[in-house]
Amino acid sequence: MKHFYFILFVFLIIAQPVFSQKNYTIKWQNKNRKYIVYLPRNYNASENLPVVINMHGFLTTAQFEMDYTQFNKTADTARCIVIYPEGVDLRWNSGTFFFVTSTVDDVGFLGDLMDRAAVLYNADLKKVYSMGYSAGGFMSYKMACDATNRIAAIAPNVASMVFDNLSSCVPARPINMAAFNGLSDPITPYAGFPGNFPGIDSIKHFWQIKNNCNVLANKDTLPDLRNDGTRVVRYTYQNCSDAVDQVFYKIINGGHVWPGANDLFLGLLGKTTQDISMNTIAWNFFKTKEIPQSVRCDAPQNLVATQITSDSFQLNWNAIAGVPKYKIALADDSDKVTFFETTNTTIGVKLNPTKRYRWNVASLCTSGYHNWNTTRNLNAITTSIANKKTEKITLFPNPCTSFLQLDKQLTQQNNTTVTIYNTVGQIMKLYNALPNDNTIDVSDLPNGWYQLMITTTETNYTSSFIKE
């Protein structure tokens, strides 16, 4: 019996985190892309939590990265959402690497995952952080270059920057970074790899210039807490622009490993320091960092959904000054998210009436930042329209030029309205009563396609027509 309870206890310990893990596959650039979302214990949808994107190394997986780094444990205490994305062919497009180039838009893919986190989990996109192991660290540097205003800070581990990324890197502003490298790394040599990436000291200098920090860093050796043959030296750059922080950790005798993790590689990739925990240091570095207010525009306000038919809605929101475009999200009850972009402040959408949906709208700021409102239910709210039966009616002539005639004689009732919508769901004409002869004047409408709905006490009658 004791053995039974022990096995049950071990099973519960192992199984418990699974309840907070969500595995997804989405289409991106016509490719299936996988990723894992980890929600901290006792996650509440009303929370507005930060996001950490934790990327795997070359030829490893999102699941391996989660298991190896154990960042979920940090997320539980820190209260943050962790996204573990997976690269195409288990690699990341951070530039030309060993003469291999790629057309995969991983920067766009990671930005898409941020938006999904905002829509599905109310994530705080001004607190998004990127970290990664090896190739995932290379990709973190790429995000700092190409998506500066979507990332508040980065923490690459055992990584450098490939030469074509270095030559094209124009960050939109100074950016916070805490980087970790082993001096005895056999995979990403500290001295660099000719033709592929420079030494780590060159990377320090590159970002010291980009962040406009003092040339000379403060250097201090951290306490030797464990007798594991390693020491950690920290380089802290001072007086960077916009008060950003730039810190590099050099692990003497350290290998191609995650500081503070268990050595899953049995020493084949070098020594793992236990003098520091990268998870702890990275989170303590991240937690005070935000996307600057100067690059954030306001989120759309006054989101209103008007039900037109049982399977269609008109979505409206207030315009935000200076915002050229908006991004709309529809999420169904399986967490499938569909995005639309528009320059308008209204859009018409059709739904599968057998599913429940949520929706949200973001301002696409000129800086590149995306500011989402709060996701709200759409067709989960019972309305008078949803409770009525719907019938189709025929209009003639169709196409028409001046007047429409109904194919059936409808009786006059109280609370009868006639509404005509354009293709984006805007109300073009509204009658508070049905004309006695059942004819409808559309002579003043612009040419185009329209939808008509007659709402009576018991029934919604719908049809469409073309005005010439």
3-class SS letters over 413-466: CCCCEEEEECCCCCEEEEECCCCCCCEEECCCCCCEEEEEEEECCCEEEEEEEE
Q: Which residues form the domain of 97?
A: 19-294
Q: 181 to each of 121, 200, 328, how far by Cα in Å?
A: 33, 8, 41
Whether 288 and 421 share a structural domain? no
Residues contacting residue 336 through CB under 8 Å, at least 6 positions apart = none
Q: In angstroms, rounded to a whole number, what is the distance separating the alpha carbons of residues 390 and 30?
A: 37
Residue 274 falls inside a structural domain? yes
- Given 331, 346, 377, which residue is the final one in a domain? 377
Whether 336 and 462 share a structural domain? no
Q: Interhelix angle for 71-78 vs 278-286, to 10°? A: 40
Structure tokens at 76: 């539980």
What's the alpha-carbon Rg for the chain, to the nearest Å?
28
- Within 10 A of 401 (CB to CB), how many other CB atoms are there? 10
Domain count, the chain: 3
- Within 10 A of 307 (CB to CB), how many other CB atoms are there? 18
Q: What are phi and psi of 149, to 5 degrees?
A: -85, 15
Residue 11 falls inside a structural domain? no
Q: In angstroms, rounded to a whole number, what is the distance separating the alpha carbons of residues 366 and 189?
A: 39
Whether 186 and 215 share a structural domain? yes
pLDDT for position 354: 83
Residue 5 falls inside a structural domain? no
- Given 338, 356, 377, which residue is the final one in a domain? 377
Whether 210 and 120 share a structural domain? yes
Residue 2 falls inside a structural domain? no
Q: In angstroms, rounded to a whole number, what is the distance separating the alpha carbons of residues 455 and 433?
A: 10
Residue 9 falls inside a structural domain? no
Residue 433 falls inside a structural domain? yes
Supply the CATH number for residue 456's domain.
2.60.40.10
Residue 427 falls inside a structural domain? yes
- Given 294, 324, 342, which residue is the final one in a domain? 294
Residue 460 falls inside a structural domain? yes
pLDDT for position 408: 77
Instruction: Cite the DSSP H helix spans in 19-153.
Output: 62-69, 71-78, 106-121, 135-146
Whether 131 and 223 share a structural domain? yes
pTM of the predicted model over 0.85: no
Q: Please give the chain's pLDDT, 468 residues, in tens.
A: 444 333 333 333 333 443 489 999 999 999 999 999 999 999 988 899 999 999 999 999 999 999 999 999 999 999 999 999 999 999 999 998 877 889 999 999 999 999 999 999 999 999 999 999 999 999 999 999 999 999 999 999 999 999 999 999 999 999 999 999 999 999 999 999 999 999 999 999 999 999 999 999 999 999 999 999 999 999 999 999 999 999 999 999 999 999 999 999 999 999 999 999 999 999 999 999 999 999 999 999 999 998 888 789 999 999 999 999 999 999 998 999 999 999 999 999 989 888 899 999 999 999 999 999 999 999 854 344 445 577 888 888 999 999 888 887 776 665 677 888 776 556 678 777 777 777 888 898 888 888 888 877 778 788 888 888
Whether 392 and 255 share a structural domain? no
Whether 256 and 311 share a structural domain? no
Residues contacting residue 167 through CB under 8 Å, at least 6 positions apart = none
The per-residue pLDDT for range 135-174, each reduced to its tens digit, is: 999 999 999 999 999 999 999 999 999 999 999 999 999 9
Closest residue by Cα to residue 120 from 61, 27, 47, 52: 47
Whether 266 and 278 share a structural domain? yes
Whether 257 and 406 share a structural domain? no
